[in-house]
Amino acid sequence: MYSEKVMDHFQNPRNVGEIENASGMGTVGNAKCGDIMRIYLDIDENQIIRDVKFKTFGCGAAVATSSMATEMVKGKTVQEAMQVTNKAVMEALDGLPPVKVHCSLLAEEAIHAALWDYAEKHGIKIEGLEKPKSDIGEEEVEEEY
Amino acid sequence: MKEVIYLDNAATTKTRPEVVEAMLPYFTEFYGNPSSVYEFSSQPKKAIAHARETIAKALGAKTNEIYFTNGGTESDNWALVATAEAYQNKGKHIITSKIEHHAILHTCEYLEKRGFEVTYLDVDEFGVVKLEELKKAIRPDTILISIMFANNEIGTLQPIKEIGEIAKEHGILFHTDAVQAFGHVPINVDECHIDMLSSSAHKLNGPRGVGFLYIRTGVKSRSFIHGGAQERKRRGGTENTPGIVGFGKAVEIAVETMEERTAKEKALRDHLIERVMKEIPFTRLNGHPAKRLSNNANFAFQFIEGESLLIMLDMDGICGSSGSACTSGSLDPSHVLLAIGLPHEIAHGSLRLTVNDEITMEQIDFTVDSMKRIVERLRSMSPLYEDYMRKNGKH
C-alpha cells in the first residue's frame, strides 16, 4: 500500500519528541477524523529553524509525512520553511495512496501553525502565512477508563 | 519468511485441507453441469444433495429450505430485497440494528430509497439489541426484522431466541445474518423462530464464493438472482459444485468439532484478553465480556490510531484488523464501535483479533508482548497521550 520511503519514515520516524520552551508550537487536525499532528520549532535569532520535533496521532501516512516534513524544514529559514508544501512532502515520500493525501495537507498545516505561533510570540510577520484553520489544543481529552 | 500469526479469522479462514480434498474431484472429474440429464451429471447432483442435507441437519431445517448462493452478501441482499418486494402489500417497514454488516445496512438504505421505512435499533454498551426497544419499534406495517446472530467486529451474540419469539408473536418475518455464527455456535432455526438465515462458507474453514440462504417453508421470498431453474427456481445460475461440496464438508467438520474447537478458542481468547487488560493501561474491551463469539477479542487503546498499530503488528507477522477510519477508506471509524458509545478518537484506536484452534498459547503470548511494545511506542509519539500526561501531572 505504501512506498518504501513512507514505510521507512513510519518505522524510523525522524525528529519525534518535544522541545522545551519551543519558539513555536502548532497542533492541527482532529481526533474525530483520526489524525492530529503537533510540531515544535526551535528558531534562532536569524530566523533559522535549529531544531524541530513532532508528535502525531494517526495512520502510517500521517506519521511518515510528519517525519518527512520535519526533515525538510530543519536548518531552513522560516521563509524557506513556507515553501515546504504538502505536494513537496508527498513527492519526497514517492507519493501516497489517494485516500491518504489529506495526511500530507495536515503536515503543511502543522508547520504553518507552529510558524504562526512563533510569529505571534515574537511579533514577526511571515510573508504568506495565514492564521491556522484548526487547532485542537483546547479540546478535552477523554477520561481514563 | 517470518512466521505468520493469523488473528483475523473473522475476515476469512483457512480452507481446511480435508475440504479442499473433497472439492478437487468436482473440478476435474465430476465436472458435469448438475442440471443436465445424462448419467455423467448424477454424481455432482448427488454431491450437492448431500451438502444440502448436511447443512439442513446442522440447522434443524429441511433440505428444501436451503438455497445456495455465492456468499453472505448475496444472501443478505436476497433476504431483504426479495422479501420486502414480496410483502410490500402488507407493509413497508423493516426493523434492523445499527451494528449490522454493511451487506444489511446498505441494502436497507437501498430499500429506503425505494419507499421502504427502516428502523435502526440502538444497542447497549456491549452491543446487545434492547428487546424493549424492538417491541416498541414494531408497527402494524412491519414486515421484517433482521438482526445479526453475532457481530463481526465485537463478537457480541444477540438474544436471537427472544427476538425470534417477539417476531413470531407479532406475525413478522425474522431474518438473521449468521455469517459469523454458523458453525461456531449451535443454531436451531425452529427453537429460535428464524424464518431466514444467511451464511458464508469461508467463515468456517470452507471455500470463498459460496454461501446459502435458509428460507423457511411458507415464506414468500421471490428470486433475487433471476435465471435458470436451479435451486427450486429461486436462484438462477449454474451450481458451484466444488464450492457447495466444500461448504458441506466444512459444515460437517464444524459441527463435529464445535465443542472442542470453541473450548480451545475460548481459552486462547480469554488468555489474550486477560493479559492485554492487565498489562496495557488505558485499554477497553469492546463487546460483551461473556456473550461473545469464542474466537473474538476487540480492544480500544486510548491515544493511538489503529492503522499504525496494524502496520507495526504486521512487521511482527501478526495479522489483525481495526475499526479505524484509515482502514475503512472513509473518515469515520467503525459504525459498530460508535453504536456502542465509543467516542470517535477511541474508536480510531481499536484492534480486533480473532483466533482459530490452530493458534498456540505461545503465539498469543508473543502477540501480547508485541502489542505492549507497539502501543507504548505509538503512545510516546502521540500528542493526545502527551496532553493527557501533562494534564494529570505525570509529565
Query: Which residues does chain B have within 8 Å of residue A11's beta carbon, measured at their own beta carbons?
Result: 315
Q: What is the pLDDT of residue B31?
A: 97
B90 in helix, strand or coil?
coil
Mean pLDDT of A126-137: 72
Residue A142 clears pLDDT 70, i.e. is over it? no
Say how far apart CA B16 and CA B8 lie, in whole Å: 16
- Catalytic residue list of A: 33, 103
B97 in helix, strand or coil?
strand
Residue A44 clears pLDDT 50, i.e. is over it? yes
- Which of A13, A57, A100 minimises the CB distance to B383? A57
Residue A139 clears pLDDT 60, i.e. is over it? no
Our CA-based measurement puts residue B17 at a distance from the nearest CA of chain A, in whole angstroms, of 31
The answer to whether the beta carbons of residues B213 and B43 sit under 8 Å apart is: no
Reported as a single tens digit per residue, the pLDDT across B238-274 is 999 999 999 999 999 999 999 999 999 999 999 999 9
How many H helices and E strands in chain B?
A: 16, 12
The answer to whether the beta carbons of residues B149 and B185 sit under 8 Å apart is: yes
Our CA-based measurement puts residue A127 at a distance from the nearest CA of chain B, in whole angstroms, of 28
B383 inside 8 A of chain A by CB: yes
Our CA-based measurement puts residue A39 at a distance from the nearest CA of chain B, in whole angstroms, of 10
Read off the pTM.
0.93
The answer to whether the beta carbons of residues A54 and A72 sit under 8 Å apart is: no
B331 inside 8 A of chain A by CB: yes
Chain A residue whose CA is closest to B326: A59
Q: Do A144 and B302 touch (CB under 8 A)?
A: yes
CA distances from A83 to A27, A130, A143, B235, B311 (A): 19, 14, 39, 61, 31
Chain A residues within 8 Å of chain B (Cβ atoms): 10-11, 13, 16, 18, 27, 31-38, 55-63, 99-100, 141-142, 144-145
Q: Do B346 and A142 touch (CB under 8 A)?
A: yes
Mean pLDDT of B369-391: 95
Say how far apart CA B335 and CA B325 lie, in whole Å: 10
Q: Which of B122, B185, B177, B189 is nearest to B148 (CA)?
A: B177
Reported as a single tens digit per residue, the pLDDT across B273-313 is 999 999 999 999 999 999 999 999 999 999 999 999 999 99
Q: Do B315 and A11 touch (CB under 8 A)?
A: yes
- Which of the residues A15, A102, A105, A141 would you substitute to probe the B interface, choosing the one with the greatest number of B C-beta atoms within 10 Å? A141
Chain B residue whose CA is closest to A15: B381
B395 inside 8 A of chain A by CB: no
Q: Which of B3, B143, B158 is nearest to B87 (CA)?
A: B143
Our CA-based measurement puts residue B345 at a distance from the nearest CA of chain A, in whole angstroms, of 5
Cβ neighbours of residue B98 closer than 8 Å, sequence gap 6 or more? B120, B121, B122, B123, B335, B336, B339
Of B271 and B327, which is predicted with more confidence? B271
Mean pLDDT of chain B: 95
Q: To which residue does cell 495526511 refer?
A: A103
Q: To which residue does cell 474453514 refer?
A: B205
Residue A42 clears pLDDT 50, i.e. is over it? yes
The answer to whether the beta carbons of residues B239 and B229 sit under 8 Å apart is: no
Query: Which residues does chain A have within 8 Å of residue B323's beta carbon, measured at their own beta carbons?
Result: none
Cβ neighbours of residue B297 closer than 8 Å, sequence gap 6 or more? B155, B269, B272, B273, B276, B285, B352, B353, B354, B355
Per-residue confidence at B395, pLDDT binned at 50, 70, 90?
A: low
Q: Do A59 and B381 touch (CB under 8 A)?
A: no
Q: What is the pLDDT of residue B1?
A: 62
The answer to whether the beta carbons of residues B144 and B116 sit under 8 Å apart is: no
Query: Which residues does chain B have within 8 Å of residue A36's beta carbon, measured at their own beta carbons?
Result: 383-384
CA distances from B82 to B131, B160, B177, B185, B192 (A): 26, 22, 15, 27, 22
In this structure, the number of other CB atoms found within 10 A of the CB of residue A130 comes to: 8
Q: What is the pLDDT of residue B338?
A: 94
Say how far apart CA B250 and CA B182 lie, in whole Å: 11
Query: Which residues does chain B have within 8 Å of residue A27's beta carbon, measured at their own beta carbons?
Result: 383
Say how far apart CA B131 and CA A63 lie, in whole Å: 44
Q: What is the ipTM of this complex?
A: 0.87
Chain A residue whose CA is closest to B277: A145
* The residue type at B307: E
- Catalytic residue list of B: 326
The answer to whether the beta carbons of residues B129 and B339 sit under 8 Å apart is: no
The answer to whether the beta carbons of residues A43 and A22 sit under 8 Å apart is: no
Q: Do B324 and A35 touch (CB under 8 A)?
A: no
Q: Do B386 and A55 touch (CB under 8 A)?
A: yes
Residue B109 clears pLDDT 50, i.e. is over it? yes
